[in-house]
Amino acid sequence: MAVDRQHVVEWIQAYVAVVRENRDYLTQLDAAIGDADHGANMDRGFQAVLTKLPTVADKDIGAILKTVGMTLVSTVGGAGGPLYGTLFMQAGQAEAGKNEMSDQDVVAMFEAALKGVIVRGKAEVGDKTMVDTLTPAVTALKAAVDGGAPIKEALQQAAAAAEEGMKGTIPLVARKGRASYLGERSAGHQDPGATSSYLLIKTAAETL
């Protein structure tokens, strides 16, 4: 079954609710190694996205994702805005003009999103960022789809890999962003950006 634009809208709407639900948790994680604002910033940005969605619900998938990205860039403070904004804008660019996506299109969407985040944040696996979650998730997604798994199962495998990547940030010493100022003291804490990214992939597995 193809993933259509209605599925994409439902994914975004569901993630808005997940961010609201986890707002305090994300802020607590950020309080340990950052500015204690990741939850509040993400919530503000995605509430703005929620009000914008009805204006693009009849547009193609690329336009929907691009609008989400542009809204986040203009409303989310800190590093989260540019990074999540880029994630959605690059995802949108990969799906420009499409009203439904094949399984390979879904892989291409997430690959473009990851690439955008890496280019924008100049981070790699091991830096204790959202890249530590997204990279294994996209690798698992592609491997599952290439192996013939249906997209729902492939996304579930991606979510499992994302969770592992997120937990893998706990022992790491941060090499990027505000957390890197703490040096060795950043070890022992789960990265907030890696956590919100895991929630994004998990929500995709539940809705797409």
| Percent of the chain scoring above 90 in pLDDT | 89
pTM: 0.96
List, as own/partner pairs, every contact residues 72-79 make where C-beta atoms lie below 8 angstroms and the sequence separation is at least 24, other chains included. 72/45, 72/46, 72/48, 74/48, 75/44, 75/45, 75/48, 76/41, 76/42, 76/44, 76/45, 77/37, 77/41, 77/44, 78/34, 78/35, 78/37, 78/38, 78/41, 78/178, 79/121, 79/177, 79/178, 79/193
pLDDT digit string (tens) for the chain, length 208 residues: 689 999 999 999 999 999 999 999 999 999 999 889 999 999 999 999 999 999 998 999 999 999 999 999 999 877 888 999 999 999 999 999 999 999 999 999 999 999 999 999 999 999 999 999 999 999 999 999 999 999 999 999 999 999 999 999 999 999 988 888 888 988 999 999 999 999 999 999 999 9
Q: Residue 79: what pLDDT?
A: 80
Question: How many folded domains does the chain comprise?
Answer: 1
The CATH number assigned to the domain holding 54 equals 1.25.40.340
Residues of the domain holding 34: 3-207
